[in-house]
Chain A
């Protein structure tokens, strides 16, 4: 067996990478941080944006998969994070998706629910933004929004049910 095959054979099954001592770990931390900081200075804007987009995508996916009782206002929080990746001013995002800045402000401040058209515009905008990221489905914005709404509606039955029950009856005909 040649040297290259031997390396593949050994390397492919895995590694024991555990630190043998705290000194080992501490030395590693220092040298790694030094070299990483030097590299960070050379990171360009596109690389930072890609990293932030993947971070947002993974956070949204996690939100959809984990049982979560803290669903309130997550859609808006994710939307704010998304806007912050690209824009200094929220008005510029409103202009890019052709809506009134006032409407965006109301949605972000929970004074108005986003309608279908708004979510569709976010979807199409995000498809352009995520063009360098594999395995991204813009439909996640719809799922996020309705995930939150369904959960809120069902979990708040104690609040809406008494009044609704007063209004609803089943009239048997005949």
Chain B
């Protein structure tokens, strides 16, 4: 079972002196359609220039063009173009930290009547993975929500409050990665 959750497809386009690799290591990143309970595999990929036209403030709440100079990723259902969530962040390698700048889900996924669950969580887990991949046991992600929302992030993602900033470090960052990489309970 585990093997099929991690299928590796290798394609080699061979010329005499060069090769192109098309290698896809499929990880199990999922969102849930709340109405049906159906699970969808998603991709989290860098935003492309062609995506900017569709990123209206009315659907994605912020002016995402302001984030061009930062790392910016989109979440889509695998094989679909429609963007369901976005995250931008900045790395501070000297502090072994990644600071989340903007995070959002599309308007139909906001609030109590949202279509899909786990969009924001998967985006936060994605940034957490980058932090652990680069900084190991020193990894940290941080964000500064409005004070009224801090409680929500502390409760939902087990974040820690320092001053006005929330952060996620080892061991909680590992638990979050495990949770979104596997079953809901984590390990």
Contacts and interface: CB of A to CB of B under 8 A. Distances in A.
Partners in one complex: yes
Nearest to B87: A14
A33 B95 contact: yes
A56 to B, nearest CB: 9
A169 interface: no
B99 A137 contact: no
A5 to B, nearest CB: 7
B39 interface: no
Interface residues of A, number: 56
B162 interface: yes
Contacts of A29: 92, 95, 97
Contacts of B61: 13-14
A contact face: mostly helix, strand, loop, or mixed: helix
Interface in A62-83: 62, 64-65, 67-68
Contact of A135 (B16, B28, B133, B137): B28
B152 A11 contact: yes
Contacts, number: 180
B111 interface: yes
Interface string B166-180: 010111011001110
Interface string B137-152: 1111011111011011
Contact of A10 (B25, B149, B181): B149
Given A9-B111, A134-B178, A61 B152 contact: no
B29 to A, nearest CB: 9
B93 to A, nearest CB: 12
A68 B174 CA distance: 28
Contacts of B3: 137, 139
Interface in B123-138: 129, 132-133, 136-138
A67 B25 CA distance: 12
Contact of B100 (A17, A39, A154): A17
B165 A28 contact: yes
A136 B2 CA distance: 8
A157 interface: yes
Given A8-B111, A137-B6, 16 more contacts: A9-B111, A10-B148, A11-B156, A13-B111, A29-B95, A32-B95, A35-B160, A47-B174, A48-B170, A54-B132, A64-B8, A67-B20, A135-B181, A139-B6, A151-B21, A155-B19
